[in-house]
Amino acid sequence: SQQGEEDPQALSIQEGENATMNCSYKTSINNLQWYRQNSGRGLVHLILIRSNEREKHSGRLRVTLDTSKKSSSLLITASRAADTASYFCATATINNNAGNMLTFGGGTRLMVKP
């Protein structure tokens, strides 16, 4: 079962605009991570936000977490054509045997037009 669900499933914007993707989840988490996947490639870790954090920044990325609403958002500011990719949220729960167990959502496909 998928813990995280991204919204929208697809997003198309012009270069320079901001892109916002949302993720909702169902159960308590330890942290939430965002990954990026370029077409035909593996996933690359972007940012991790802990359950006791509300906002985190990394370069042009801004992530928020609202544990009361069980939701997170990823904002990419001043988007570039090179940001075109699929973006996945992954919720991490504690598992004594497996450590960092990640459950992935279905992803948001972002297209940034030059």
Partner 1 sequence: NAGVTQTPKFRVLKTGQSMTLLCAQDMNHEYMYWYRQDPGMGLRLIHYSVGEGTTAKGEVPDGYNVSRLKKQNFLLGLESAAPSQTSVYFCASTIGQSSYNEQFFGPGTRLTVL
Instruction: Give the interface with partner 1 as residue ranges (CB under 8 A).
Output: 1-2, 4, 9, 30-31, 33, 35, 40-45, 48, 50, 88, 90, 92-94, 97-107
What is the separation, in whole angstroms, between the first and last Cα of the chain? Answer: 36
Closest distance to partner 1 from the beta carbon of 10 (Å): 10
Residue 18 or 38 having the CB closest to partner 1: 38
Closest distance to partner 1 from the beta carbon of 106 (Å): 5
Distances (CA, A) of 50 to 6, 47, 72: 18, 10, 11
Tell me the two tokens of residue 90. 């992954």
Residue 14 or 54 having the CB closest to partner 1: 54
Q: Taking the CB of residue 13, how many other CB atoms lie within 10 A of it?
A: 17
Residue 30 or 67 having the CB closest to partner 1: 30
CA distance 88 to 58: 16
